């Protein structure tokens, strides 16, 4: 085992080698791997939770909830004999591919992170809920897990610490709603993937009725680095009040679509212009969804904003997954919205009637507008849908998320929708 002498500036991707196999266990340890877990096992579980809380780590799955606070909701008084930690690797948010990058490129980093997190909350069992289509990630993760069992980094009495932690990989049935933590838990139990009413929250009653923490893959990959190098270091590599780095991404008609690990709080302009290479020749930026398909549009006027949770929220959107979808001036915004709403309509679990029926209705209106066959009053109907399916009016966040790109598109690009009304010029199609 080789001890690191200096912490990396890009801890999440430091060991990822493009177009190469990920490090096996021996190589991973040679490059400093499992030092964080070994250090955590010498600390009290509550000390690990406090460290993560002080580091300012916020969940990277989209909601941005403070990770240490979430862990602190789990009972640690011995009243719960069984607790679980679940990694959300469903990653079906359109435009998002960061967790796949981490699992395919450095699976041992994730295993180390979830084991340390399991120790912090007193969980002896962990599950990885992985998107069904992530075949390569599953293959590499299984190999890493097997290596850890063979070398006593998983299983009974890890490294002689007395801590037992068993990790299981579960590939999902492939539904977007499984990204919602309670729907994920229902699916993991073998039930229909339907969100649950809260409270009780999973930290009190989750998987099989036991205290459960659900964290995103990227979130958990940060944990061993925080334990090893400390909260102050984690905050120092950020440009924001939120600690750490972030896997940002960009897709759409940019020159170099992809994902990059950058300091939290990097501006949208730097991500799009420097790392994604700017727009393709002959195209101009009209807007972008900052955190996947279920976030509100921002425009070129917002490019100099820091991409962190609070800043983007103040601008009227959500940072979400930090994976931007770019709209150019040659693509029909109505067509783009129709495509997104069709996806959300298809992926509704069907539990809540306004979501089940309202989203297909929304998609049909957009389809007519895209074809230039819209009717007077259609835009008012769409505006009404954004209210009726908005936050506080639905059983879960699926329908409100579907409404975010629509409500902001109506705000910023209303003339595009108006051109789809019958009797005027048809909507522009890409």
Residue range 135-147, pLDDT digits in tens: 999 999 999 999 9
Which H/E stretch holds residue 411?
helix 398-412
Between 218 and 9, name the one with better pLDDT.
218
Q: Range(s) for CATH 1.20.1440.230 in the chain? A: 333-418
Q: How confident is the model at residue 3 (pLDDT cuts 50, 70, 90)?
A: low
User: What tens digit of pLDDT does each residue of 39-79 get?
Assistant: 999 999 999 999 999 999 999 988 888 999 999 999 998 88
Cα 59 to chain center, whole Å? 8
**How far is the C-alpha of 172 from the C-alpha of 178, rounded, in Å?**
8
* Architecture category of domain 245-328 in CATH: Roll (3.10)
| DSSP designation for 290 | B
pLDDT over 60 (residue 2): no
Residues of the chain with CATH 3.40.50.11540: 25-236
CATH ID of 333-418, from 1.10.10.10, 3.40.50.12160, 3.40.50.720, 1.20.1440.230: 1.20.1440.230
State residue 430's pLDDT score. 46
In CATH terms, the fold of domain 25-236 is Rossmann fold (3.40.50)
pLDDT over threshold 70, residue 380: yes
Torsion angle, alpha carbons of 91, 93, 97, 103, to 10? -10
Q: Would you say residue 427 has pLDDT above 90?
A: no
Q: What residues form DSSP beta bridges with 125? A: 84, 166
Tell me the mean pLDDT in the region 295-304: 96
């Amino acid at each position: 085992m080789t001890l690191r002498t200096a912490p990396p500036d890009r801890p999440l991707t430091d060991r990822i080698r493009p177009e190469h196999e990920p490090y096996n266990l021996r190589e991973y340890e040679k490059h400093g791997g499992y030092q964080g877990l070994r250090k955590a096992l010498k600390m009290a579980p509550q000390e690990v939770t406090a460290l993560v809380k002080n580091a300012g780590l916020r969940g990277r799955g989209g909601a941005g909830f403070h990770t240490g606070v979430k862990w602190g909701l789990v009972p640690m008084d011995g009243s719960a004999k069984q607790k679980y930690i679940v990694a959300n690797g469903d990653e079906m948010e359109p435009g998002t591919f960061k967790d796949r990058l981490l699992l395919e490129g450095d699976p041992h980093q994730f295993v180390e992170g979830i084991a340390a997190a399991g120790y912090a909350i007193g969980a002896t069992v962990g599950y990885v809920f992985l998107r069904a289509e992530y075949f390569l990630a599953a293959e590499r993760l299984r190999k890493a897990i097997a290596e850890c069992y063979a070398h006593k980094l998983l299983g009974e009495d890890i490294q002689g610490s007395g801590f037992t932690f068993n990790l299981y990989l579960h590939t999902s049935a492939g539904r977007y709603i499984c990204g919602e933590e309670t729907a994920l838990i229902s699916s993991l139990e073998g039930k229909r993937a339907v969100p649950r009413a809260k409270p009780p929250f999973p930290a009190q009653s989750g998987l099989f009725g036991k205290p459960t923490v659900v964290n995103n893959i990227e979130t958990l990959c940060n944990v061993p680095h925080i334990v090893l190098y400390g909260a102050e270091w984690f905050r120092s590599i950020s440009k924001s009040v939120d600690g750490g780095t972030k896997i940002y991404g960009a897709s759409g008609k940019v020159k170099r679509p992809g994902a990059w690990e950058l300091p939290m709080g990097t501006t949208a302009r730097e991500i799009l212009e420097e790392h994604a290479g700017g727009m393709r020749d002959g195209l101009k930026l009209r807007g972008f969804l900052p955190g996947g398909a279920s976030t509100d549009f921002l425009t070129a006027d917002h490019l100099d904003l820091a991409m962190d949770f609070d800043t983007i929220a103040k601008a009227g959107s959500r940072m979400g997954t930090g994976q931007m979808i770019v709209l150019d001036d040659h693509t029909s915004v109505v067509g783009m919205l129709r495509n997104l709403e069709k996806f959300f309509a298809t992926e509704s679990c069907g539990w809540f009637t306004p979501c089940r029926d309202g989203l297909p209705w929304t998609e049909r209106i957009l389809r007519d507008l895209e074809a230039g066959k819209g009717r007077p009053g259609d835009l008012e109907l769409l505006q009404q849908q954004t209210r009726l399916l908005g936050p506080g009016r639905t059983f879960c966040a699926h329908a409100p998320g579907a409404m975010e790109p629509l409500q902001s598109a109506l705000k910023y690009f209303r003339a595009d929708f108006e051109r789809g009304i019958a009797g005027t010029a048809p909507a522009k199609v890409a």
